[in-house]
Amino acid sequence: MPLKSKHLILFLIGCVLLLQGAGNTSGKDRPGRVIQFSGLVLTGDSLEPVSYATVYVKGTQRGTVSDYNGFFSLPVYTSDTLRFSSVGYKEVYYTVPDTLTQNRYSAIQLMSKDTIHLPETVIYPWPTREQFRHAFIHTEVPDDDYDYAMRNLARAEMKDRMEEMPMDGSMNFRHQMNQQANRLYYAGQRPPMRIFDPLAWGEFIKAWREGRFRRQ
């Protein structure tokens, strides 16, 4: 697999760290050669990528995490054992072959899902039967949509809404046209005043006798 620029940088940094750690050991305890190990982590049943799976060398603190597509790359020694783990999957171990002749190696690691079946748990909101019976009897059933609609269509409710509803565009236009028609009808003369209208005075006296102006 060809190395990209970022993978090359990671490979060089890993080589430096591995060489520093190997310099503190004796010749007989020094591990094998350094190689760049790359690969894909996939599911065993559907071959879907396992995103952000943990890949690290067993017994050390060296490791990495696969990306969204399941790709990973890290420098390792030959004969190192890699541990693959992810939430919901069983752990898998892979030993790097010690017979490699090149400085890079690629592999596809399959992981199987770890399904855990838990027993059924039923949660009740009431601890005793008496509390359940009391809550069931005294529960207030909420109104449905039909009840809300009938309440909104009541005659008193419709009357209150009609009195509080402002005029729309057509009503405003009609009111404006009526005012303009009245001004044109009395153009050049003074419009009549209702205070001098005998019919209006007769209606006022009749309403006053009937008690229409009394406070309720």
pLDDT band at 189 (very low <50, low <70, confident <90, very high): confident
Backbone region of residue 73 per phi and psi (left: phi > 0; alpha: psi in -120 to 50; beta: other values):
beta
pTM of the full structure: 0.43
Residue 22 reports pLDDT greater than 70: no
Question: Which percentage of the chain shows pLDDT scores above 70?
Answer: 85
Where is pLDDT greater, at 135 or 75? 75
Radius of gyration of the chain (CA): 44
Residue 24 reports pLDDT greater than 80: no
Please, which residues have CB within 8 angstroms of residue 117's CB and are 6 or more apart in sequence? none
Q: From 66, 25, 70, 63, select the one nearest 46 (Cα to Cα).
A: 70
- pLDDT at residue number 10: 55
Residue 25 reports pLDDT greater than 50: no
- pLDDT at residue number 30: 46
Backbone region of residue 52 per phi and psi (left: phi > 0; alpha: psi in -120 to 50; beta: other values):
left
pLDDT band at 26 (very low <50, low <70, confident <90, very high): very low
- pLDDT at residue number 140: 80
Mean pLDDT of 84-102: 91
Residue 23 reports pLDDT greater than 50: no
Residues of the chain with CATH 2.60.40.10: 5-111
Q: What are phi and psi of 105, to 5 degrees?
A: -150, 140
pLDDT band at 129 (very low <50, low <70, confident <90, very high): confident
CA 132 to centroid of chain Cα atoms: 35
Give Cα separations from 175 to 82, 185, 193 (angstroms).
86, 15, 20
Return the CATH superfamily for domain 5-111: Immunoglobulins (2.60.40.10)
